[in-house]
């Protein structure tokens, strides 16, 4: 009987694989036996080393998803040049912090382009190729606890993550009967570059930790292991689900 949590023989594209949550997801996929095609705008050498140490397979693709016109062609190029994909993890994201009255239009557009528009375009490209080849596939979008809450001083980020949850559900409804699972993970407060400003603020950090039932900041691997589940056969009957990995934050 095959392991329902194995990704052996699967090729998974992960965006933002150079650091943080993306790196954690890449490492977890490799540990589960999958081949990772990592997409990043900066060096992914550290991710490659971590995966090589465990004997895993990693392919690096340099791209900046801030240029949304490159998103669909990027996936097509990977598919054509190195082989079909079995899964897609849309992790790449950026954040801009400012009071809503001070947030610039440029900061709004930059965040929405990377966090939402590029996500949709990559999903669209993946589905077009998978359906044309009559292949099954799995998509995991990285949402946020701010897909459910408002947050503070992150207007464009919150809007984009609400959008990620919405588009995950919409695509699941359209593609479930066609063999493509679309689900999402909602990370809580994870130790990454995006949360560095919060962790460096003693008052904000203390307030956040006081609310998390687990009593700690999350680690990238916490998200990575959840992604493996949503990419593996164990989740075959899951469509349009969002899995909070937040130390209990949303339950509080």
35-66 per-position pLDDT tens digit: 999 999 999 999 999 999 999 999 999 999 99
Is 237 marked active-site?
A: no
Alpha carbons 153 and 119: distance in angstroms, whole number: 23
**Ordered domains of the chain (ranges, CATH):** 11-242 (3.40.50.720)
Confidence of residue 1 (pLDDT cuts 50, 70, 90): low
101-141 per-position pLDDT tens digit: 999 999 999 999 999 999 999 999 999 999 999 999 999 99
Of 56, 15, 4, 9, the C-alpha closest to 164 is: 15
Q: What is the 3-state secondary structure (H, E, C) of the chain?
A: CCCCCCCCCCEEEEECCCCHHHHHHHHHHHHCCCEEEEEECCCCHHHHHHHHHCCCEEEEEECCCCCHHHHHHHHHHHHHHHCCCCEEEECCCCCCCCCCCCCCHHHHHHHHHHHHHHHHHHHHHHHHHHHHCCCCEEEEEECCHHHCCCCCCCHHHHHHHHHHHHHHHHHHHHHHHHCEEEEEEEECCECCHHHHHHHCCHHHHHHHHHHCCCCCCECHHHHHHHHHHHHCHHHCCCCCCEEEECCCHHHC
**Which pTM does this prediction carry?**
0.96
Mean pLDDT of 235-248: 98
Query: What does the mean pLDDT of the chain come to?
Result: 96
Q: Residues 79, 120, 157, 229: which is the catalytic one?
A: 157
175-228 per-position pLDDT tens digit: 999 999 999 999 999 998 878 888 898 998 999 999 999 999 999 999 999 999
Phi, psi (degrees; rounded to nearest 5) at 18: -80, -25
């Amino acid at each position: 009987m095959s392991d329902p949590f194995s990704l052996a023989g699967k090729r998974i594209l992960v965006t933002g694989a150079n650091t943080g949550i993306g790196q954690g997801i890449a490492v977890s996929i490799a540990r589960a036996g999958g081949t990772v095609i990592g997409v990043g705008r900066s060096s992914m050498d550290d991710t490659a080393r971590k995966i090589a140490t465990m004997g895993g397979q990693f392919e690096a693709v340099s791209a900046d998803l801030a240029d949304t016109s490159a998103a669909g062609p990027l996936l097509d190029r990977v598919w054509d040049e190195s082989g079909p994909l079995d899964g897609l993890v849309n992790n790449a994201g950026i954040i801009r912090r400012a009071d809503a009255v001070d947030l610039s239009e440029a900061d709004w557009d930059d965040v929405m382009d990377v966090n939402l528009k590029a996500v949709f375009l990559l999903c669209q490209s993946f589905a077009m190729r998978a359906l044309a080849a009559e292949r099954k596939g799995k998509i995991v979008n990285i949402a946020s606890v701010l897909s459910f809450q408002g947050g503070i001083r992150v207007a464009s980020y919150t809007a984009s993550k609400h959008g990620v949850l919405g588009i995950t559900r919409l695509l699941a409804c359209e593609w479930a009967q066609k063999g493509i699972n679309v689900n999402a993970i909602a990370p809580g407060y994870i130790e990454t570059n995006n949360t560095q400003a919060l962790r460096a603020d003693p008052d904000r950090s203390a307030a956040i930790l006081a609310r998390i039932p687990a009593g700690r900041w999350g680690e990238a691997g916490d998200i990575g292991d959840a992604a493996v589940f949503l990419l593996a056969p164990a989740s075959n009957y899951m469509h349009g689900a969002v899995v909070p990995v937040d130390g209990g934050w949303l339950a509080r």
